[in-house]
Structure 1
Amino acid sequence: MQLWRRIALGLLRVRVTFTEQAGVISSQPSIVICNHQSLLDGVIFALAAPVSMDYAVTPKYAVENATTRRLLKFLERRGLGRVVPLSADHSLSIRSLRKSLVSGRSVMIFPTGKITPGEEQRGYEWLSARTGCPVVRASISGADRSLIFSRSGSEIWPRISLTI
């Protein structure tokens, strides 16, 4: 991992644990799914990811909000991955993730589709069935305690753990 990425994760107080699943992501196109706790989760994952991948992001942040759109474009230019606007209302958006997988890129999805806990949407199963790519589950914890980036946090800058 590049030094600037390690520094950024350190400043964000993120501890990353790599499991053998990270090797799967590095060796073949994979569908990575992760719980979703805060607005920083995707950025944290992109900083820690073993490979550049495509990230499913709600159109609200990927397209409509000018501030987050610019931030995501900045991260794309730094080589952290590509943003793919994904809406549960439009089946074509999940097909663009399918194209990414077929072309050899891994994709990252938050299957609840929102920060608050909820039922997983099963689009990743459809992707896996259509492409034969494995599903790799990652986990983030602590980000939900952020006053700044989560819905009901209690700490300004909590410690965060990411397991890939």
Structure 2
Amino acid sequence: MGLSSTTTDQATEWSFTQRSLHALLYGYTRFYQGGHWESSSIPATGPAILACNHVSVLDPLFLVASNCRMISFLVAREYYDNAWTRHLLEQTYSIPVRRDRRDVGALLQARRLLEDGRVLGIFPEGGINRGQTQKGLAWLVRESAAPVVPAHISGARQGRSDLATWLRRQRPLLRYGVPLHFHRDADAAEVLGATMSAITTLA
């Protein structure tokens, strides 16, 4: 499922499948995991880059469940090998990324997503490749002029396996910070420094 001019963004525009998945994730994160979150600071409309720390495989689920806008993520390509996660990622129009090299195609897809006024989720601490992810974040900020919304998850951690993490009950807390705005000529160090500082401040 790729991006198109008919790709839905607001919850009122989601398909039945997307609404059902969101309800399922909300129930799992809120009631099974005991998650709590503050009100999201993602703008109601327009492009935005959601930048969050990365503590476990569950992080994207908390971000999706706590928002009423579609969040598309840059995701390691191997997660598409599992039928369940592939279906979930396709429903959120997420973008597969290669770990072994700089994936220019994925960055171009991400830029197009932001140009269409959508929300891109990214984990600048790593998960795919830390250096690649941080450089990609800075490039996308300069290319799109989209605000960066910092977020921080605490109270959760990765288990010995993804399945163990899914099954283990935790009590995570998700906090959102004030959106950061950068000039198009901002250098990578400025973008990354301010973003990581804002995420850390939320801890």
What TM bracket, shorter-length normalisation?
A: 0.7 to 0.9
- Is the Cα–Cα contact under 8 Å of residues 56 and 85 in structure 1 kept in the other structure? yes
Q: Work out which of the residue numbers 114, 127, 145 in structure 2 matches 1:132.
A: 145
The whole-number CA distance in structure 1 between the counterparts of 2:174 and 2:163 is 16
Say which structure, 1 or 2, has more relative contact order (CA 8 Å, 6+ apart): 1
Q: How does 1:2-151 map to 2 (within 5 A)?
A: 4=23, 6-11=26-31, 12-18=33-39, 22=41, 24-61=42-79, 63-73=80-90, 76=91, 81-87=92-98, 89=101, 90-114=103-127, 121-144=134-157, 149=162
1:10 is displaced (CA, Å) by 1.9
TM-score (norm 2): 0.63
The whole-number CA distance in structure 1 between the counterparts of 2:158 and 2:170 is 6
The whole-number CA distance in structure 2 between the counterparts of 1:111 and 1:38 is 14
The whole-number CA distance in structure 2 between the counterparts of 1:43 and 1:10 is 10
Of all paired residues, the percent bearing the same amino acid is 27
CA deviation digits over 1:15-48, x for unaligned, max 9?
01126xx1x4323210111011111111121111
1:131 is displaced (CA, Å) by 0.9
Equivalent residue letter for 1:144: R
- Is the Cα–Cα contact under 8 Å of residues 56 and 109 in structure 1 kept in the other structure? yes
Equivalent residue letter for 2:169: W
Equivalent residue letter for 2:86: R
Count of residues in Structure 1 that have an aligned counterpart in Structure 2: 151
The whole-number CA distance in structure 1 between the counterparts of 2:67 and 2:163 is 21
1:139 is displaced (CA, Å) by 0.8
Q: Which has the higher strand share?
A: 1
The whole-number CA distance in structure 1 between the counterparts of 2:29 and 2:118 is 23
Q: What are the ranges of 5 or more consecutive residues in structure 1 without an aligned counterpart?
A: none
Using the TM superposition, name which of 100-109 and 42-51 deviates more. 42-51
The whole-number CA distance in structure 2 between the counterparts of 1:6 and 1:60 is 25
- Give the alignment's Cα RMSD to 1 decimal: 3.0
The whole-number CA distance in structure 2 between the counterparts of 1:149 and 1:141 is 18
Equivalent residue letter for 2:30: G
CA deviation digits over 1:98-144, x for unaligned, max 9?
000001111001122318xx666231111010111111111111121
The whole-number CA distance in structure 2 between the counterparts of 1:18 and 1:41 is 16
The whole-number CA distance in structure 1 between the counterparts of 2:109 and 2:68 is 22
Decide whether aligned partners of structure 1 residues 8 and 67 sit closer, same or farther in structure 2, where only a CA change above 3 A counts.
closer
Larger radius of gyration: 2
Q: What are the ranges of 5 or more consecutive residues in structure 2 without an aligned counterpart?
A: 1-10, 12-18, 177-203
1:113 aligns to what SS in structure 2? coil
